[in-house]
């Protein structure tokens, strides 16, 4: 296992093997700017000479060190590891990752590792029984384990036809009301901070209305600054507004990486709700992504089913209204490193959100 040092080759491997933006070099740079410690590791299979130093990379994974109370910490692998698709895409490579993860977590003094796997529930390189046999325990996900993806190889007419009729109607209604879509200004630092402040106020209103937690304003400002489209690097994060008569009615933060545009965060105005700005906002983003050659638009987080009683039922109806397909992943799993401290951590979680 080697610590990676080259951003270009790192991102080339992630993208070539279907990896998520959460395993990108840019995401690790953002996490470091936000105050976390990030580690990037590569595992190479031995070459014909038997030397791993000359072999091709077979596994990559980004690890973030998350602090816990009393000076403890855990190692977090978001949507990883990324396994090479060529050759043997199986449990063997995943087993190599598990050994390397144990080593890395022990070296950094972590009491356990949390891994949010990017593989489907069936047909991937590892199954739930195999995870359990390797010592993993199922855990609550930080990232959504289910999502809705719109494939952009269809024509615009086919994309519209695949939507729910109410979604098509609301897109037309927003356009009829004169809703306009524009990107936040990145060129002027002062204006950019004002744009982020506008998004934050809209997000605070949305979180209060819809009862969900947000990050701090500084978190979003750091993300949009470090991963700005005007800066070098593979991962780009953009802030886009939908305006009614010049007033922000909706906003979205989207990530561009590899062949996918991902909707990360969204907000909308209660007072301007009747103008259906979020519908036109996402349709314009989908159109733009298609025109620029992206293959997928990922809505990033839906309920696992269309159960109307699920806490995410409302946002799921909105996202699924754009058509697309639901994808479900294996979710989050924890690997104990220190059995005693891990059991104490699990016990404490029963009484407090740790």
pLDDT tens, residue by residue, 90-125: 688 899 999 999 999 999 999 999 999 999 988 888
Q: Strand 146-151 vs strand 260-268: parallel, antiparallel, or unpaired?
A: unpaired
Mean pLDDT on 202-220: 91
- The arithmetic mean of pLDDT across residues 77-87, rounded, is 89
User: What is the Cα–Cα distance from 49 to 46, expressed in whole angstroms?
Assistant: 7
CA 97, CA 44: separation in Å to the nearest integer?
11
Query: How does pLDDT run across 224-271, given as a tens digit for each residue?
Result: 999 998 888 899 999 999 999 999 999 999 999 999 999 999 999 999
Nearest to 120 by CA among 138, 137, 101, 145: 145
User: Is 46's pLDDT higher than 80?
Assistant: no
Mean pLDDT across 9-16:
96
In the chain, where the domains are located: 2-143+329-349, 153-294
Matching CATH topology for 2-143+329-349 and 153-294?
yes
* The dihedral formed by the CA atoms of 47, 52, 58 and 60, expressed in degrees to the nearest 10: -160
Q: What is the pLDDT of residues 123-175, one digit of tens each?
A: 888 999 999 999 999 998 889 999 999 999 999 999 999 999 999 999 999 99
C-alpha closest to that of 136 among 348, 331, 1:
331
Domain 2-143+329-349 bears CATH identifier 3.40.630.30: yes
What distance in Å separates the CA atoms of residue 142 and residue 128, rounded to the nearest whole number? Answer: 19
Distance CA 248, CA 198 (A): 8
Predicted TM-score (pTM) above 0.75: yes
- Comparing CA positions, the residue from 86, 138, 87, 89 lying closest to residue 117 is 138
Cβ neighbours of residue 336 under 8 Å, at least 6 residues apart?
111, 112, 135, 137, 342, 343
The CATH number, out of the four listed (3.40.630.30, 3.90.1150.10, 3.40.50.720, 3.20.20.140), of the domain defined by the range 153-294: 3.40.630.30
**If pLDDT is split at 50, 70 and 90, which confidence band does 33 have?**
very high
For residues 238 and 227, what is the distance between their CA atoms, to the nearest angstrom?
A: 8
Distances (CA, A) of 8 to 26, 31, 146, 236, 297: 10, 18, 29, 14, 24
């Amino acid at each position: 296992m080697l610590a990676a040092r080259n951003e270009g080759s790192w991102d080339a491997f992630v993208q070539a093997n279907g990896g998520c933006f959460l395993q990108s070099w840019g995401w690790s740079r953002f996490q470091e700017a936000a105050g976390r410690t990030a580690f990037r590791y590569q595992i190479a299979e031995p070459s014909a000479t038997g030397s791993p130093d000359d072999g091709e990379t077979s596994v990559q994974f980004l690890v973030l060190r998350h602090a816990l109370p009393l000076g403890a910490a855990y190692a977090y692998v978001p949507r990883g590891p990324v396994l090479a698709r060529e050759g043997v895409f199986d449990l063997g490579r995943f087993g190599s990752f598990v050994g390397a993860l144990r080593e890395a977590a022990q070296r950094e003094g972590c009491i356990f590792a949390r891994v949010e796997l990017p593989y489907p529930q069936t047909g991937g390189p590892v199954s739930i029984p195999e995870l359990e046999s390797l010592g993993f325990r199922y855990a609550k996900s930080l990232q959504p384990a289910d999502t809705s993806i719109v494939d952009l190889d269809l024509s615009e007419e086919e994309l519209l036809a695949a939507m729910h009729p109410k979604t098509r109607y609301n897109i037309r209604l927003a356009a009829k009301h004169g809703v306009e879509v524009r990107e936040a200004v990145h060129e002027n630092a002062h204006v950019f901070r004002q744009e982020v402040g506008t998004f934050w106020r809209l997000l605070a209103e949305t979180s209060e209305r819809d009862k969900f937690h947000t990050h701090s304003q500084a978190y979003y400002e750091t993300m949009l600054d470090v991963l700005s489209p005007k800066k070098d690097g593979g991962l780009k994060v953009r802030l886009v507004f939908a305006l009614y008569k010049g007033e922000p009615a909706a906003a979205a933060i989207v990530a561009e990486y590899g062949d996918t545009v991902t909707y990360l965060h969204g907000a909308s105005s209660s007072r301007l709700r009747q103008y259906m700005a979020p519908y036109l906002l996402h349709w314009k983003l989908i159109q733009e992504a298609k025109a620029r050659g992206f293959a997928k638009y990922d809505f990033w987080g839906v309920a696992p089913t269309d159960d109307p009683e699920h806490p995410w039922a409302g946002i799921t109806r909105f996202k699924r209204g754009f058509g697309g397909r639901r994808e479900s992943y294996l979710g989050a799993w924890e690997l104990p490193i220190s059995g005693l401290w891990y059991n104490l951590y699990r016990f404490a979680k029963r009484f407090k959100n740790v």
